Homo-oligomer: A and B are copies of this chain.
């Protein structure tokens, strides 16, 4: 090694799917690699940031894939849904069959690497979460690049939060985001603080993309170990930023002043490319005095095991518990 003591050199090897996860999770892993042990997702390459046509093609293909998946789900979804516009933001408002928490709201930001996952997928996810939590779910169908780079998505997030704040007490709102949605949820809370809006009752960050500079260690250690996100999303990040500073807290909320954030639930997996994002955000929140809890699942890749595995069910149960506890906290006396 020419530049000595700058890292560790690891040998190439087969890293087996471990016996420490469920059979369902192992089966999910096996579907996500080819016969040479290479993650199928690593065989795709995202377009360069200035390749508009390339991105539109990727988005169209993803939308088609999501639409088919949603069609398969539609029998299982029970919540009704209507789609509204506020400012430039589109919101899918899902209403469950029975409202366990009629005053409460779940404000959801979908994932999709800052480019994908809107439209029908977002609409279906709002219905799923309304079913799960027994409360209104507002799914934000934020604008995305290449047509709408930063700050369009964040502007839409702000418009959506203001819309929900007009209809619910802040103490009855829980905000959640998955992956890129975790970026927007956290960035939106930083900007809300700057603009004088109150914090919600709770925040959920699932494998959140809170550092668009990708400075975390897991971007190296879990490269090609994470079968869902095998490597860097820097092309997406640059497309999204469109020249804005990737390290600005509105783009990488990990680097913002997190004081005053509400109680926060963070999730990741030991094989997640974003593991460092989650653990660093947890530590940053704790340093800022925030009541933040971390949940890391054994061998889980980015976004879960991509199936209805016992591990994914366990995560769903933890989330339900967190949401209910924080919606209900408003009725309890302060104990600290």
Contact = CB atoms under 8 A, between A and B. Distances in A.
Interface stretch (A32-40, A52-60, A93-101, A237-245): A32-40
A11 interface: yes
Contacts of A296: 279, 282, 294, 296
Task: Please tell me how many copies of the chain the complex holds.
Answer: 2
B286 A279 contact: no
Interface in A206-251: 215-218, 220-225, 227
Interface stretch (A2-10, A165-173, A178-186): A2-10
Contact of A8 (B21, B38, B276, B283): B38
Nearest to A280: B298
Nearest to A224: B10
A221 B20 contact: no
B297 A221 contact: no
A217 B297 CA distance: 11
A296 B268 CA distance: 11
A45 interface: no
Interface in A280-315: 280, 282-283, 286-287, 293-299, 314
Contact of A270 (B15, B20, B276, B286): B276
Which of A7, A215, A220, A271 gathers most chain B CB within 10 Å? A7
19 contacts: A1-B35, A8-B225, A9-B38, A10-B13, A11-B12, A12-B12, A15-B220, A15-B221, A16-B220, A20-B280, A217-B298, A218-B270, A221-B225, A221-B270, A276-B298, A279-B298, A283-B314, A286-B295, A296-B296
